[in-house]
Amino acid sequence: MKKTPDELLQIEYTPPARDWMDPHVDFEARKGTWSYPGAPKNLEYLGLPNPREWSPTDEDWKLPENWKEIVHEGFLDLLKRFRSLKVFMDCCVRCGACADKCHFFIGSGDPKNMPVLRAELLRSVYRNDFTTAGRILGRLAGGRELTPDVIKEWFYYFYQCTECRRCSVFCPYGIDTAEITMMARELLNLLGININWVVEPVANCHRTGNHLGIQPHTFKDNIEFLCEELEDVTGIHIDPPINKKGAEVLFIVPSADYFADPGIYTFMGYLLLFEQIGLDYTLSAYASEGGNFGLFLSHDTIKRLNAKMYAEAKRLGVKWILGGECGHMWRVVHQYMDTMNGPADFLEVPRSPVTGTVFDHAASTKMVHICEFTADLIHHGRLRLDPSRNAGWKVTFHDSCNPARAVGLLEEPRYILRNVVEEFFEMPENTIREQTFCCGSGAGLGNDENMEMRMRGGLPRANAVRHVHERYGVNILSCICAIDRAVLPTLMDYWVPEVRVAGVHEMVGNALVMDGEKERTTNLRGEPIPGREG
């Protein structure tokens, strides 16, 4: 990225003179803050409307002939299907409490990144088209006519929201910008307007079973390769079952965990844990993705991709499902899966085969988070842990947006960390737990062309990390999200280069004392453990 951190920090928070109701985005001048459009081949594969080559910098976006009618009808359809949308369109009093809660506003100063105005971009059209006052009084009542420029503005700002839901915590009516962004993206999608970093993973996942488009033989190869690495570090040979019928547990992880650094170390941690406790589990090459980029496109695509989890659990005849560390995956699993693709009456209420704990909070969905599972193991004293094998790591924990604000999974990872590392430090309270700041690259925005906006959006998170780095010497940022693991290293390199990124189960894997292992001189990354150098 060309701009230096110092340049990026010259943020102008005073709003411009121009009335926000006049839409205007100069895409040419704002390169680095938007994502490339969806490639036609991906739209065609998924059967999405209006596949074509186009660029946001084009004057003509090649909208369908009757685009206005399509949006109007689409809006009406969404209002009929979602009470949330109706209530959120009607209730906002523009009190401004959300304004400075958005990481994109804090990092950019662009007033349309204040959640209230982001929603107003949609709400103004709603008032104009669907409310009595708006139809009669128009602009005086806050109504705004739908024009191609409004559509362009929607594209810019609704793909500048990571659906992190932080603003919703502070809103007196709980207005959830993620919900509004999801609706706006549904509308844009009807016109064939979306971004490739969302559409391609969705198309890949639909076809191969995972976002990265990894085919089954490569899936197997990757895992075997990781097991060889693991054998080097621990001396233990692991052969994880894939597509094994009749296993007790189906284990599903985000695909980045078996593909890219540093997610692979988290994956190694899972495998060591299962090996040590003798869990009867299986991976699946068909349901080889925990994440769900469908969430960033439309409700229908969430359901299409998510359907594979239950389908595969049923086909393999497992008893319940265990899920890896992933953020938006857990939003989908916790808040959408059972409703969309359940009931999972062919599964059993999850029960830990080691401790006997019945996870009755997952009695219907039958899917348990790996952190819940591991915390329960630790609490029952079923793991021998040696935190000194994480010596040298001064750890802090980044609450990923969705496990925090969709699930309430706050204490499980902290409980685990306190048991597996020697030094753990919290970031300031306004930046963690339910108030946690997004990585700035979620919801499909983690691509290279959007780098400036990513670094801006990630500023509040990076700033909090810098704080604990300077104060306590924190040198590793742990998290339970695959997107975090993919994008936070870049963010850290930019703002706090001294800090690295890891999954919680990487720390578990380092600390876990295993039967028959050789003496560990390196951590899972193959780096010498301080004080134990060979």
Partner 1 sequence: MKAFKALVIVGVLAGVATVAAGVPAFRPVLGIWLPYAAAALFLAGMVRRVVCWGRSPVPFRIPTVCGQQRSLPFLPHQPLESPYTGWQAAARVAGEVLLFRSLFRNTRTELTRKKRLAYLPSKLLWAAALAFHASLAVIVFRHLRFFLEPVPSCVRFVERMDGLFQVLVPAVMVTDAVILLALLYLLGRRLLDLRLRYLSLPADYVPLFLLLGIVGTGIAMRYIWKVDLIAVKELAVGLATFHPAVPDGTGALFLVHLALVSVLFAYFPFSKLVHMGGVFLSPTRNLANNSRARRHVNPWNRPVDVHTYEEWEEEFRDKLVACGLLPEEE
Site for partner 1 in 472-531 (CB under 8 A): none
Interface with partner 1 (CB under 8 A), residue from 286, 296, 320, 424: 286
3-state secondary structure 116-139: HHHHHHHHHHHHHHHCHHHHHHHH
Structure tokens at 527: 């780096």
Interface with partner 1 (CB under 8 A), residue from 31, 41, 361, 518: 361
Q: Decide: is 309 part of the binding site for partner 1 (CB under 8 A).
A: no
Distances (CA, A) of 421 to 225, 389, 428: 27, 8, 20
Q: Decide: is 90 part of the binding site for partner 1 (CB under 8 A).
A: yes
Q: Decide: is 289 part of the binding site for partner 1 (CB under 8 A).
A: no
Q: Decide: is 140 part of the binding site for partner 1 (CB under 8 A).
A: yes
Is 138 within 8 Å of 170 (Cβ atoms)? no
Vertex 51: Cα angle to 50 and 56 (nearest 5) = 90
Q: Decide: is 436 part of the binding site for partner 1 (CB under 8 A).
A: no
CB of 440 to partner 1, least distance (A): 13
Structure tokens at 188: 């844009």
Site for partner 1 in 192-251 (CB under 8 A): 206-209, 215-217, 220-221, 242-243
What region, left, alpha or beta, does residue 393 occupy, with left being phi > 0 and alpha being psi -120 to 50 degrees? beta
**Nearer to partner 1 among residue 492 and residue 529 (C-beta):** 492
**Nearer to partner 1 among residue 58 and residue 358 (C-beta):** 358
Interface with partner 1 (CB under 8 A), residue from 467, 500, 525, 532: 467
Interface with partner 1 (CB under 8 A), residue from 235, 246, 428, 530: 428
CB of 175 to partner 1, least distance (A): 7
Distances (CA, A) of 502 to 263, 269, 475, 480, 488: 7, 11, 11, 9, 9
**Nearer to partner 1 among residue 56 and residue 110 (C-beta):** 110
Distances (CA, A) of 174 to 298, 311, 332, 414: 22, 34, 19, 27
**Nearer to partner 1 among residue 214 and residue 512 (C-beta):** 214
Site for partner 1 in 5-44 (CB under 8 A): 9, 11, 13-15, 20
Q: Decide: is 81 part of the binding site for partner 1 (CB under 8 A).
A: yes
CA-based torsion, 33, 39, 45, 51: positive or negative: positive
Which of 26-34, 55-63, 183-191, 402-410 is the region at the interface with partner 1 (rule: CB under 8 A)?
A: 402-410
Alpha-carbon gap, residue 249 to 233, rounded angstroms: 26
Tell me if residue 455 falls in helix, strand or coil: helix
Site for partner 1 in 157-196 (CB under 8 A): 165, 168-176, 179
Please give the full DSSP string across 137-172, using - where no structure is assigned.
HGGGGT-----HHHHHHHHHHHTS-----HHHHH-T
Q: Decide: is 362 part of the binding site for partner 1 (CB under 8 A).
A: yes
Structure tokens at 481: 């999200």
Alpha-carbon gap, residue 407 to 426, rounded angstroms: 20
**Nearer to partner 1 among residue 266 and residue 431 (C-beta):** 431
Interface with partner 1 (CB under 8 A), residue from 52, 68, 315, 532: 315
Q: Decide: is 381 part of the binding site for partner 1 (CB under 8 A).
A: no
**Nearer to partner 1 among residue 236 and residue 340 (C-beta):** 340
Number of residues lying near partner 1 (CB under 8 A): 118
CB of 474 to partner 1, least distance (A): 16
Structure tokens at 172: 């007196």
Site for partner 1 in 338-357 (CB under 8 A): 338-340, 342-343, 357
